[in-house]
């Protein structure tokens, strides 16, 4: 009984394949594919994560990545190892004279209409991710896309029925049809004019209805198939039911999900990062979306600031550890802390007492040569500039595509070190200048009130000064940690407050 059944099944398959011709037999289930495009290595991680998210939905369809010559051999090897079919394509020149510079090759996207060895392809931009299966998109008609923020279609997610005729027709119109973006999207909007009035694609139509109606020329996809994070940013939430979301599209230029800082700014990036962390080790060292070439650099970047700080401070480090171990040996660490605490209570704050001590010593010791009036203003200015410069430099140093935590920690480390060097250098310079200009005076008789780490000062004064430094330092550190976590505390999950 069973064998009869299978023979019957085999005959049916044989009959069907003869009906649809031999090419279909050769390609078989390969008649449908997911397709994306890669122009350069910058979006490589995006394509890897997209592929992983497609496979995670249980799809076994082909995944094709069209790569242009800007893509490195390593990237192609990695994508193949990830399960992508890598197809080389030449770029289609952009016929528009007036266009954004980065749009030089975007007309290449039209080549998906020429992938005639597939019956139907679902095209996805490299900055999209699948949250929930979108296999039903293959039921879509000849051309499907979604409208975005207007009556214009977005070319980030499209369902296309490749056809040589259609492609030739497009190519013949590339030079004449206008493009409002100066790119492929504008061209497609001109080519598929009237798209805005297309009906919405309904995946759950019964097969009777599907077969009896004429195949629509165009269909409009629901927002669920192309949910734009730009919209999320405006409202601080998805404007559609979050549980129903199928494709998230990270459209915003400087906020691509692979840049480490976006995870700290946009909640939807968590989805992307979760998939990224689960990326397999297709080639050695690439698990979790890591870049093996970057590993050594990261180690170097995280150690260098520590060494610099250690080098600049080795004297005070020695002193601190000596004090600490002395205190430990005498068992008086507790007393030491108590001592500081009482002093804090009595003096109304360490900072106050420390500043009081040093300023009074200036006045007492040096009445003729005053501190210049502009010094305070200049110091504040230098401090702010140093902060801006150190943040900018740190931002430039940290590689873009590291994990969010790695990026944040490296950022702190580098910003702090650079700030320390710049502002510390400024303070040192001021001190030296002050010393020179007052050399004749009595000023040099009390150098210990400024020199915190000379270690040779009067014991009590030195410890007050140290404690004040720590007090300020800890306050600053607390601020530095608190400031970036404010949005989290207030429940803001995107840049703008609702």
Ligand X SMILES: *[C@@H]1O[C@H](CO)[C@@H](O)[C@H](O)[C@H]1NC(C)=O
Residue 134 or 266 with smaller CB distance to ligand X:
134
Which of 116, 172, 193, 460 contacts ligand X by CB under 6 A? 116
Would you report the helix, strand and coil content of the chain in percent, each value rounded to 5?
A: 60, 10, 30
Q: Is the dihedral of CA 364, 367, 372, 373 positive or negative?
A: positive
Query: From residue 56 to residue 95, what is the string marking binding to ligand X with x (rule CB under 6 A)?
Result: ----------------------------------------
- 155, 179 Cβ separation under 8 angstroms: no
- Could you tell me the CA-to-CA distances from 279 to 132, 306, 360, 380, 472 in Å, in that order? 17, 31, 63, 47, 43
**In the complex, least distance from residue 385 CB atom to ligand X, rounded to whole angstroms:** 54
CA–CA separation, 135 and 158 (whole Å): 13
- Could you tell me the CA-to-CA distances from 73 to 127, 284, 413 in Å, in that order? 21, 15, 34
**In the complex, least distance from residue 39 CB atom to ligand X, rounded to whole angstroms:** 16
Residue 204 or 206 with smaller CB distance to ligand X:
204
**In the complex, least distance from residue 153 CB atom to ligand X, rounded to whole angstroms:** 20
Encoding tokens for residue 300?
Answer: 């170097």
Encoding tokens for residue 418?
Answer: 């650079």
Strands 143-147 and 153-160: antiparallel
**In the complex, least distance from residue 29 CB atom to ligand X, rounded to whole angstroms:** 20
Interaction residues for ligand X, span 443-462 (CB under 6 A): none
Report which of 377, 355, 368, 301 is spatially closest to residue 464, judged by C-alpha positions. Answer: 355
E strands along 168-232, which residues? 219-220, 227-228
Which of 111, 256, 267, 446 contacts ligand X by CB under 6 A? 111
**In the complex, least distance from residue 256 CB atom to ligand X, rounded to whole angstroms:** 28
Judged by CB under 6 A, the stretch of 49-57, 111-119, 178-186, 468-476 that binds ligand X is 111-119
Place of tokens 């992307």: 272
**In the complex, least distance from residue 114 CB atom to ligand X, rounded to whole angstroms:** 4
Residue 149 CB contacts under 8 Å (≥ 6 apart), including other chains: 228, 230, 231
DSSP label at residue 109: G
Residue 56 or 294 with smaller CB distance to ligand X:
56
Residue 203 or 487 with smaller CB distance to ligand X:
203
**In the complex, least distance from residue 258 CB atom to ligand X, rounded to whole angstroms:** 29
Residue 209 or 346 with smaller CB distance to ligand X:
209
**In the complex, least distance from residue 110 CB atom to ligand X, rounded to whole angstroms:** 9
Residue 114 or 369 with smaller CB distance to ligand X:
114
Residue 226 or 464 with smaller CB distance to ligand X:
226
The total number of residues written for the chain in this structure: 498
**In the complex, least distance from residue 224 CB atom to ligand X, rounded to whole angstroms:** 8
Judged by CB under 6 A, the stretch of 22-30, 108-116, 245-253, 482-490 that binds ligand X is 108-116
Residue 87 or 326 with smaller CB distance to ligand X:
87
- 155, 186 Cβ separation under 8 angstroms: no
Residue 107 or 260 with smaller CB distance to ligand X:
107
| CA atoms within a 13 Å half-sphere pointing along the CA-CB vector of 123 | 26
Judged by CB under 6 A, the stretch of 110-118, 147-155, 209-217, 320-328 that binds ligand X is 110-118
**In the complex, least distance from residue 132 CB atom to ligand X, rounded to whole angstroms:** 10
DSSP label at residue 420: H
Interaction residues for ligand X, span 283-302 (CB under 6 A): none
**In the complex, least distance from residue 169 CB atom to ligand X, rounded to whole angstroms:** 13
Q: Any contact of residue 267 with ligand X (CB under 6 A)?
A: no
Residue 155 or 366 with smaller CB distance to ligand X:
155
Determine the size of the site formed for ligand X (CB under 6 A): 5
Judged by CB under 6 A, the stretch of 17-25, 109-117, 230-238, 404-412 that binds ligand X is 109-117
CA–CA separation, 234 and 243 (whole Å): 19
Which of 114, 181, 302, 365 contacts ligand X by CB under 6 A? 114
Place of tokens 């990224």: 276
Phi-psi region of 171 (alpha: psi -120 to 50; beta: other; left: phi over 0): alpha
Residue 20 or 116 with smaller CB distance to ligand X:
116
Most distant CA pair in the chain, distance: 114
Residue 60 or 204 with smaller CB distance to ligand X:
204
| CA atoms within a 13 Å half-sphere pointing along the CA-CB vector of 70 | 13
Q: Is the dihedral of CA 227, 231, 233, 236 positive or negative?
A: negative
Query: From residue 190 to residue 229, what is the string marking binding to ligand X with x (rule CB under 6 A)?
Result: -------------xx-------------------------
DSSP label at residue 148: -
**In the complex, least distance from residue 103 CB atom to ligand X, rounded to whole angstroms:** 19
Output phi, psi for 66, to 5 deg: -90, 120
Encoding tokens for residue 341?
Answer: 């605490």
Note the residues at the interface with ligand X (CB under 6 A): 111, 114, 116, 203-204
């Amino acid at each position: 009984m069973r064998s009869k059944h299978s023979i019957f099944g085999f005959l049916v398959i044989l009959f069907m394949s003869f009906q649809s011709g031999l090419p279909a037999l050769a390609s078989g289930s390969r008649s449908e594919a997911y397709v994306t495009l890669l122009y350069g290595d910058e979006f490589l991680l995006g394509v890897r994560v997209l592929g992983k998210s497609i496979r995670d939905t249980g799809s076994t369809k082909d995944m094709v990545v069209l790569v242009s010559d800007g893509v490195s051999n390593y990237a192609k090897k990695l994508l193949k190892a990830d399960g992508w079919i890598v197809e080389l394509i030449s770029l289609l020149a952009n016929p528009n004279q007036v266009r954004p510079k980065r749009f030089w090759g975007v007309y290449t996207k039209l080549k998906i209409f020429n992938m005639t060895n597939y019956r139907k392809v679902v095209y996805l931009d490299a900055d999209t991710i699948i949250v929930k299966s979108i296999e039903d998109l293959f039921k879509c008609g000849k051309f499907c896309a979604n409208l975005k923020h207007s009556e214009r279609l977005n070319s980030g997610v499209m369902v296309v029925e490749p056809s040589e005729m259609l492609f030739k027709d497009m190519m013949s119109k590339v030079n004449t049809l206008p493009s409002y973006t100066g790119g492929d999207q504008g061209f497609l909007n001109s080519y598929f004019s009237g798209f805005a009035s297309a009906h919405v694609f309904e995946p759950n139509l019964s097969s009777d209805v599907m077969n009896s109606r004429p195949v629509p020329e165009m269909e409009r996809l629901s927002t669920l198939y192309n949910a734009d994070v730009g919209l999320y940013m405006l409202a601080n939430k998805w404007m559609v039911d979050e549980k129903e979301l199928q494709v998230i599209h990270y459209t915003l230029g400087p906020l691509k999900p692979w840049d480490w800082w976006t995870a700290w700014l946009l909640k939807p990036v968590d989805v992307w990062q979760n998939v990224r962390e689960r990326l397999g080790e297709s080639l050695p060292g690439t698990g979790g979306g890591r870049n093996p070439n970057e590993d050594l650099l990261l180690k170097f970047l995280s150690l260098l600031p520590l060494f610099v700080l250690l080098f600049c401070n080795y004297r005070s480090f020695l002193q601190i550890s000596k004090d600490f171990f002395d205190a430990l040996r005498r068992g008086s660490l507790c007393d030491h802390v108590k001592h500081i605490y009482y002093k804090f209570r009595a003096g109304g704050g360490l900072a106050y007492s420390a500043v009081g001590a040093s300023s009074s010593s200036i006045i007492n010791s040096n009445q003729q040569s005053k501190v210049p009036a502009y010094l305070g203003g200049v110091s504040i200015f230098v401090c702010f500039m140093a902060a801006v410069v150190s943040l900018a430099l740190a931002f430039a140093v940290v590689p873009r595509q590291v994990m969010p935590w790695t990026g944040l920690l490296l950022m702190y480390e580098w910003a702090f070190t650079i700030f320390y060097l710049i502002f510390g250098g400024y303070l040192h310079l001021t001190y030296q200048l002050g010393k020179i200009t007052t050399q004749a005076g009595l000023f040099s008789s009390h150098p210990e009130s400024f020199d915190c780490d000379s270690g040779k000062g009067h014991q009590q004064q030195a410890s007050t000064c140290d404690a004040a430094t720590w007090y300020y330092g800890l306050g600053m550190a607390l601020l530095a940690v608190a400031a970036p976590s404010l949005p989290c505390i207030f429940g803001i999950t995107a840049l703008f407050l609702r």
